[in-house]
Amino acid sequence: MTVEIPDVKKNWPHTINAVTIGATSAEGGTRTSTVTIGGETTLPFYHFEGTMPNKPVVAMEVWDIPAEDWPDTVREPFADVLADPGAWAKACVETFGAELICLRLKGCDPNGADRSPDEAAAAAKQVAEAVGVPLIVWGCGNDDKDNEVFPVVAEALSGENCLLGTITEDNYKTLTALGTAYGHKLIAESPVDINMAKQVNILALDVGFPSENIVIYPSTGALGYGLEYVYSIMERLRIAGLKGDKVVAMPMLCDIGIEVWSIKEAKAPEDEVPGWGDVKARGPMWEASTATAYLLAGADVLIMRHPEAVRITKETISRLMGGGA
Amino acid sequence: MILIGERINAGFKDIANAIKTKDPTAVEKWAVAQTEAGATYLDVNIGAASRDPADMAWLVEATQKAVPTPISVDSTKIEAIEAGLEALDGRQCLVNSTTADPGKLEKVIPLAVKHNAMLLGLAMDDRGSPQNVERRVENGAMVFMAAMEAGIPPERIILDPILMPIKFMQEQVPNVLEAIEQFTHLSDPPPHISVGLSNIGNKVAERGRVIRTFLVMAMAKGLDAAICDVCDEETIAAVATAELMLNKEIYSDSYIRAFRIKAGGVA
């Protein structure tokens, strides 16, 4: 006797926006490759149900100043290049397989090195000249300073179709104008809050920035540090998007490295926490595990730091997309 | 929420006049206005203005020339429905309507199947409008079963429990609410449930309030479609707010904007 297994496949009415980052010379930029994310018609890796035309991608993080507060484990692979953003980016792409570079303008922080907009733009140009992959540029996080820095940086990278971030509910007018003027995509940030995630997208739309050019950053928590809250928000956003809520039907981004490499599980040496194992293996594993969880929640872009975590995550993506290791 | 724009109806003078003179200006105006307001379907109805099915074909053509919005072909006359459906350019459509009268079911349902249309079924029969919950549910179930047997799935069926003016038939309003809830138990997923919303406010002084209060009460019972004045901003705001209450949409401070963007109206 044959038991009929009911067909539980869903046919979602809406498709997640596909967003292309980077522009080649034919498209008005100088990138040698571009990356397209999103375009899903189903939940993450539900290949039996719908299509996931673009695989999630891994961006590696580069700073405009030497990353002194990074733990040794994750500084070590970049020891020779930390003082040179161009060389650092080149190592990420050529040695470690980064698919995009995320330049974080940490040096502009007024409570830190307080570097000028011109210095930030110079670092951005350095990275753009050193590598051909698409670029993400992330501000220092101080709204006032970012609003001074981005006009110069966005212009310096004009036509490169970068992904710039972030816009928030309280600070979106400068970047939306710059994105439109210089041809860049934007990251819309919200503080682990699905309502605000939706609101910031509507605000951007209301000042004329097309929702097709937005990537959602719902905040990121490291494994053990609120990951499950973000996970459930990402799931709800993705389900709403697939059901037809156009203002949340965007690809999603997770900022993995910065979160993981600030927690003790990734950086405390074994002599401080006996029984936790070698920190040099533990840290990258923590980063890769966090990344994997977010892939399953629907992440389309992961920003990461450690080369070994990047390698494992890219292999995981390849397997989840149905390819081999 | 399936919002069916009521305005292209010869019950309105400008539309009756358009049909008589074959001047599509008023039709185009309402097709665009209702589409921009977020209508899912545009109801097209020649009403009592004409007995000629060719006029329904003309009205459908005039509407679809103006906008790409799906069309609800609305008539009590089978010949008019057929003429309207034949005039369509292949876009999504809704057959509005059949009743539970077997003679009508056997003619209207094949038309819906042939044109791959959604089917709206009124919970009335050859005995006229239902005066209690039981008759509504019996008639609704009869339409539902006949449509299902013809291969139309629940999500392509809309049942209408027959809403009456509160001023003249106040005792029927609770019956309509109860019938809506019972319709939701017919299947899983349930059929869609719609009413002719403006009916309840017929000749009522507080028309807007009556319409909107009924609307949100009915949505709480399971109403998920309405033939209504989609250009009324307060009605749309009430729908958007009620959908939040039912947790059908993610809250945001600009949720009414979000609702309009989703409805595909003016962004």
- Name which CATH class applies to A18-320: alpha beta
CA distance A238 to A252: 9
pLDDT of res. B248 = 93
Domain count, chain B: 1
**Contact residues, chain B, for A244 at CB < 8 Å:** 262
CA distance B215 to B192: 15
**CATH code of the domain in which B154 resides:** 3.20.20.20
Q: Rounded to the nearest 10 degrees, what angle do helices B78-87 and B102-114 cross at?
A: 0
pLDDT band at B238 (very low <50, low <70, confident <90, very high): very high
Please, what is the Cα angle at A25 between A212 and A18, to 5 degrees?
Answer: 20
Cis ω for the linkage preceding B189 (within 30 of 0): yes
pLDDT of res. A4 = 87
Q: Of A198, A203, A205, which has the smallest distance from its Cβ to B250's Cβ?
A: A198
Contacts of A274 (CB under 8 A, 6+ apart): none
Cβ–Cβ under 8 Å, residues A240 and A195:
no
Residue B53: C-alpha distances to residues B59, B66, B76 (Å): 10, 21, 11
pLDDT of res. B264 = 74
CA distance B123 to B118: 16
Q: What type of residue is B235?
A: T
**Contact residues, chain B, for A195 at CB < 8 Å:** 250-253
Contacts of A221 (CB under 8 A, 6+ apart): A192, A227, A229, A230, A259
Measure CA A39 to chain center.
17
Compute the average pLDDT of residues B124-130. Answer: 92
List the beta bridge partners of residue A60: A101, A304
pLDDT of res. B193 = 98
- Structure tokens, B217: 């009460």
Predicted confidence (pLDDT) at residue B110 exceeds the cutoff of 90: yes
pLDDT of res. B267 = 41
Contacts of A151 (CB under 8 A, 6+ apart): A117, A174, A178
Predicted confidence (pLDDT) at residue B184 exceeds the cutoff of 90: yes
pLDDT of res. B63 = 98
Predicted confidence (pLDDT) at residue B132 exceeds the cutoff of 90: yes
Q: Of A199, A244, A246, which has the smallest distance from its Cβ to B252's Cβ?
A: A199
Interface membership of B253 toward A (CB under 8 Å): yes
Cβ–Cβ under 8 Å, residues A157 and A132:
no
Nearest to B227 by CA among B72, B83, B80, B118: B72
Compute the average pLDDT of residues B42-63. Answer: 96
Q: What is the CA radius of gyration of chain B?
A: 17
pLDDT of res. B265 = 56
Give per-residue pLDDT as tens, A299-321: 999 999 999 999 999 999 999 99
pLDDT of res. B54 = 97
Shortest distance between the Cα of B2 and any Cα of chain A, in A, equals 13
Measure CA A128 to chain center.
17
Predicted confidence (pLDDT) at residue B92 exceeds the cutoff of 70: yes
In DSSP notation, B123-180 reads: S-BTTBS--SHHHHHHHHHHHHHHHHHTT--GGGEEEE-----TTT-TTHHHHHHHHH
* Cα nearest neighbour of A203 on chain B: B254
Ranges of chain A with pLDDT below 50: none
ipTM: 0.80
Predicted confidence (pLDDT) at residue B266 exceeds the cutoff of 50: no
Q: What is the dihedral of CA A283, A285, A290, A296, to 10 degrees?
A: 170
Domain boundaries, chain A: 18-320
Q: A245 and B267: CB-CB below 8 Å?
A: no
Cis ω for the linkage preceding B97 (within 30 of 0): yes
Give per-residue pLDDT as tens, B13-29: 999 999 999 999 999 99
pLDDT of res. B128 = 87
pLDDT of res. B197 = 98
Q: Rounded to the nearest 10 degrees, what angle do helices B25-36 and B53-66 cross at?
A: 50
Cβ–Cβ under 8 Å, residues A8 and A108:
no
* Cβ neighbours of A290 (radius 10 Å): 29
- Structure tokens, A215: 């990537």
pLDDT of res. A286 = 98
**Structural domain that includes position B194:** 2-263
**Contact residues, chain B, for A205 at CB < 8 Å:** 261, 267
